[in-house]
Homo-oligomer: A and B are copies of this chain.
């Protein structure tokens, strides 16, 4: 059939990988297509063989950056054998340990947020991400309430929103001023404090 072996999957990955590094280093605007081509060890023309435009390349990165988190949460939700508080703790730990090694990439995330501020494909994608994240987290909480492992008077949706907001807020504060807070310690402390407010009241 094809007169040449299909390398498009590898090439796309190679380009996305290079783009990720270059965008992280210089930002969407200051990064030139030539930079990405050089970083990937390819010619600029080839970038346009695989991606319609710079914007298309940027949008393709959305999936790369945001999908993994959802996968993590889905896995956690399906792991019904373990108690909910334990799984919530792991969620917090996961979020933190995703943050730390990917610190260099975080600037890209915030450029996406800035884009998501206005209507467009990026906004749509990130809205969908948050919607799904809140759904999954609320479902996890609902599971905990039904099992009696969390307070019965909890509003799952509202609580999920609160937790997500706190994650996002802390990440933002840390990225902007890493030396202003001891992220590992304070993340853990805040998560633990929040978790305590979710547990059913116990007679002292």
Contacts and interface: CB of A to CB of B under 8 A. Distances in A.
A126 interface: yes
Most chain B C-beta atoms within 10 Å of own C-beta, residue among A127, A155, A170, A177: A177
- Number of copies of this protein chain within its complex: 2
B127 A117 contact: no
Size bracket, chain A contacts:
35 or more
Contacts of A134: 180
Contacts of A190: 158, 161-162, 165
**By DSSP majority rule, is chain A's interface helix, strand, loop, or mixed?**
helix
A116 B176 contact: yes
Given A29-B29, A165-B166, 14 more contacts: A27-B118, A106-B117, A107-B114, A113-B176, A126-B176, A130-B177, A134-B180, A155-B189, A158-B190, A161-B170, A165-B168, A165-B169, A168-B168, A168-B172
